[in-house]
Amino acid sequence: MTRPDPSAHRGAPLPSALGAWRRRPQPPLRPVTSAPAGPRSAAAASLPTVEEVSAGGVIVREHDGGLEVAVIARYNRGGRLEWCLPKGHPEGEEDHRQAAVREVEEETGIAGHILEPLGAIDYWFTVARHRVHKTVHHFLLRATGGELTTENDPDHEAVDVAWVRLEDVARRLSFANERRIVDLARQVVDQHFPPGGARGPRP
């Protein structure tokens, strides 16, 4: 699980590069970008820095003629409810892909497999007596089973979970950097979920 909660960060996300792997050659996607943000004060700059890595992503299912994404809600340190993409730290010898699959299932109850990487975002925040530079690797996943639940979250950080229509996810998410990840997912999703069939027009 994510420790500490990335919702507590006090800086804007830094630029990051997209994953290079693709099923077939295609033009590169636009990278997730924003203005660089470092420590906000000289006092913060003097604190030791801890590097953290997490993985998660955009898990998609076909439903009712369209596509839906599972998102979670958690409370930040100020007690505000925030909606975000599921993610967490790798455990043991897990690589980013394995961690993303496990964390998505733990936090949402939905099993899935990775279709392709969407890129990484990174940002700074300060906790206790150190600064954290966190990088989160995101993947596009296809849902393969399960039911929405937060009961499998071992740290009980997720307090709610919901399926949201792909076209509405950006409005639900609390963080601009995750909204950009969803925008990237929308650019490639038709390669994995071709329009028509289950995605035909809704009645």
How many domains, in total, are found in the chain? 1
Task: Please choose, from the candidates 80, 70, 72, the residue with its C-alpha nearest in 3D space to the C-alpha of residue 2.
Answer: 72
**Domain range for residue 80?**
47-189
Q: Is residue 136 situated within a structural domain?
A: yes
85 vs 77: CA distance, rounded Å? 18
Distance of CA 178 to CAs 46, 93, 125, Å?
29, 26, 16
Please report which helix (H) or strand (E) contains residue 176, including its range: helix 176-192
| Residue 183, in any domain of the structure | yes
Q: What are the residues facing 54 on neighbouring strands? A: 136
Structure-derived torsion over alpha carbons of residues 138, 121, 132, 9, reported in degrees to the nearest 10:
-100
Among 182, 150, 181, 187, which Cα is nearest to 164's?
182
Other CB atoms within 10 Å distance of the CB of residue 193? 20
Would you call 171 exposed, middle or buried from its count of C-beta atoms within 10 A (0-12, 13-18, 19+)?
exposed
* Calpha distance 181→196 (Å, rounded): 24
What pLDDT does residue 25 have?
Answer: 42
Domain membership of residue 20 (yes or no) is no
Residue 111 lies in a domain: yes
Cβ pair 86, 118 in contact under 8 A: no
In a domain, residue 200? The reply is no
Local structure of residue 14 (DSSP, 8 states):
B
Tell me if 130 is assigned to some domain: yes
pLDDT given for residue 30 in this prediction = 41
Strand 160-165 with 66-75, pairing: antiparallel
Say if residue 154 is preceded by a cis peptide, omega within 30 of 0. Answer: no
The whole model's pTM is what? 0.75
Q: Which two tokens stand for residue 128?
A: 């206790």
Q: Is residue 155 part of a domain?
A: yes
- Three-class DSSP category at 172: helix
CATH number of the domain that 130 lies in? 3.90.79.10
Got the DSSP string for 138-153? EEEEEEEEE---STT-
> In which residue ranges of the chain is pLDDT below 50?
1-37, 39, 200-203
Task: Tell me whether residue 3 is in a domain.
Answer: no
